């Protein structure tokens, strides 16, 4: 037995699950009880109240929010009957397990996507989240499935039940093995088979030229025109463009580039350290120069990451929907990337140095390739120049024709660039 205080609890560290009992008993209305502290190897510390051959969970130790004094106070309220038995449980709820696992993912495993997971929890029924984990069973998952499918789609249920299964496995592994032990995962093998949707039709080169013309005619301002044209030329995701700053445009012996540092590219994180660059065609540079001359009030290329700004990602989506309605365009803007990859494949060209697949295509590429090598830098330039040059040529051809339907884009590639200069490091 130990004398419980905050200093003692903070210093507790074990190699296996261990219970500590407070020397000082609590007497209320003739009932004798003691506080118990359960410590896990992971560092988790939980207060329990032991009385009448029962052990009631009080809460996790937190020096600021739930310390020894607060645990003793809550214990006395339970013994006095001021807290109804239905308001506490010997076992944490599924909600507690989920948040414990998410905190572990964020702070220890350094995983991304937890904010999206927390948001998705809003769709979960309250009864499921408030159920103690030792009472969850397969019947609860069946009930969840029936209720979910009455409101949402099968795909959403599969995603959520898969996440629940992961929460259960990680929670059992790191925090609650002493409570649920070998109990079967109630969410395992509950994903439903879905009939996949047919693949979306991809826009052809003629379709892209038609969209380009409609952007000129129907987009309300220059920033929107440049945004979607740049998206078409580079095959970028929305998030990659609205995160662009003006100082991410740089020049070297190879020409002008857009450079996404760590954390700015869609697939980039502090852990994988993915960066990306795309070479800009002279006509693309000219378009950007004209745009930047008129937009000097911000460091952001498209005023991104400012939630009061019209270039917020939600506004990007709504702007394109309005454009489709006004112009009669049938294509989604996210298909520009599809069109780029399809065209490059048809021309036997490598799209990976445009789409950043060169970084993400396996461990070997992520960790072993020197992307600062001049020959590899040249591959970035060649791939981007090939696609942008072909698109600009097709646009110019079609601008010379009065009727867009009579325009038949013909790609001309005269010669590939031969680079002799030494690559300059990014400043």
pLDDT in tens, 179-203: 776 778 888 887 776 656 667 788 9
Same domain membership, residue 231 and residue 287: yes
Residue 416 is assigned to a structural domain of this protein: no
Counting as low any pLDDT under 70, the low residues of the chain are: 29, 42, 53, 83-91, 109-114, 181, 193-198, 263-274, 304-310, 313, 360-366, 401-427
Final residue before a domain boundary, out of 56, 87, 118 = 87
- How many Å separate Cα 53 from the centre of its chain? 47
Q: What is the pLDDT of residue 422?
A: 33
| Structure confidence at residue 385 (pLDDT) | 94
pLDDT, residue 309, reads 66
Domain boundary among 87, 113, 136: 87
pLDDT of residue 42: 66
8-state DSSP, 250: E
In this structure, are 53 and 79 located in the same domain? yes
Instruction: Indicate whether 298 and 378 sit together in one domain.
Output: yes
pLDDT at 383: 93
Q: Closest Cα to residue 359, out of 264, 272, 426?
A: 272
Report the CATH number that the domain containing residue 249 is assigned in CATH: 1.10.443
**404/206 Cα distance (integer angstroms):** 9
* Residues 6 or more apart in contact with residue 215 via CB below 8 angstroms: 224, 225, 228, 229, 323
> Which tokens is 2 given?
């130990």
Pair 112, 165 in one domain? yes
User: Tell me, what's the pLDDT at 321?
Assistant: 92
Same domain, 49 and 17: yes
Segments forming the whole domain that contains residue 102: 94-180
Q: What is the pLDDT of residue 427?
A: 38
Q: Are residues 338 and 299 in the same domain?
A: yes
Shared domain for 222 and 301, answered yes or no, is: yes
**Dihedral sign from CA coordinates of 177, 180, 185, 187:** negative
pLDDT value at residue 113: 61
Residue 213, domain member (yes or no): yes
Q: Are residues 69 and 20 in the same domain?
A: yes
This model's pTM is above 0.75: no
Residue 102 has what pLDDT?
Answer: 85
pLDDT at 163: 86
Same domain, 80 and 104: no
How many folded domains does the chain comprise? 3
Please check whether residue 79 lies inside any domain of the structure. Answer: yes
Residues 111 and 29 in one domain: no
Same domain, 147 and 286: no
pLDDT at 283: 95
């Amino acid at each position: 037995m130990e004398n419980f205080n905050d200093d003692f609890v903070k210093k507790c560290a074990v190699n296996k699950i261990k219970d500590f009992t407070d020397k000082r008993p609590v007497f209320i209305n003739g009932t004798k009880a003691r506080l118990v502290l359960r410590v896990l190897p992971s560092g988790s510390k939980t207060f329990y109240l032991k009385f009448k051959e029962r052990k009631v969970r009080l809460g996790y130790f937190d020096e600021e929010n739930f310390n020894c004094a607060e645990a003793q106070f809550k214990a006395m309220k339970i013994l006095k009957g001021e807290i109804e038995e239905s308001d506490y449980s010997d076992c944490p709820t599924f909600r507690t397990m989920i948040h414990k696992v998410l905190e572990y993912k964020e702070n220890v495993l350094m995983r991304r996507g937890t904010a999206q997971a927390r948001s998705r929890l809003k769709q979960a029924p309250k009864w499921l989240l408030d159920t103690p984990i030792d009472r969850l069973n397969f019947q609860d998952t069946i009930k969840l499935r029936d209720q979910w499918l009455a409101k949402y789609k099968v795909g959403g249920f599969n995603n959520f039940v898969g996440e629940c299964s992961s929460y259960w496995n990680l929670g059992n592994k790191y925090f609650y093995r002493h409570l649920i032990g070998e109990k079967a995962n109630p969410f395992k093998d509950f994903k439903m088979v879905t009939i996949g949707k047919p693949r979306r039709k991809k826009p052809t080169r003629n379709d892209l030229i038609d969209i380009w013309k409609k952007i000129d005619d129907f987009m309300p301002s220059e920033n929107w025109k440049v945004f979607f044209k740049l998206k078409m030329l580079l095959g970028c995701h929305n998030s990659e463009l609205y995160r662009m700053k003006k100082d991410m445009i740089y020049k070297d012996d190879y020409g002008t580039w857009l450079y996404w540092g760590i954390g700015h590219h869609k697939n980039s994180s502090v852990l994988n350290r993915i960066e990306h660059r795309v070479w800009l065609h002279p006509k693309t540079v000219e378009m950007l120069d004209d745009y930047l001359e008129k937009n000097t009030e911000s460091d952001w290329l498209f005023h991104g990451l400012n939630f009061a700004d019209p270039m917020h990602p939600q506004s990007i989506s709504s702007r394109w929907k309005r454009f489709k309605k006004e112009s009669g365009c049938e294509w989604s803007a996210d298909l520009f990337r599809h069109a780029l990859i399809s065209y490059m494949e048809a021309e036997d060209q490598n799209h990976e140095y445009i789409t950043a697949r060169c970084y993400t295509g396996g461990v070997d590429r992520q960790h072993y390739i020197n992307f600062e090598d001049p020959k590899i830098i040249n591959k970035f330039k060649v791939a981007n120049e090939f696609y942008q040059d072909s698109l600009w040529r097709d646009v110019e051809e079609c601008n010379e024709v009065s009727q867009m339907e009579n325009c038949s884009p013909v790609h001309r590639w005269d010669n590939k660039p031969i680079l002799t200069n030494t690559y300059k490091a990014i400043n």
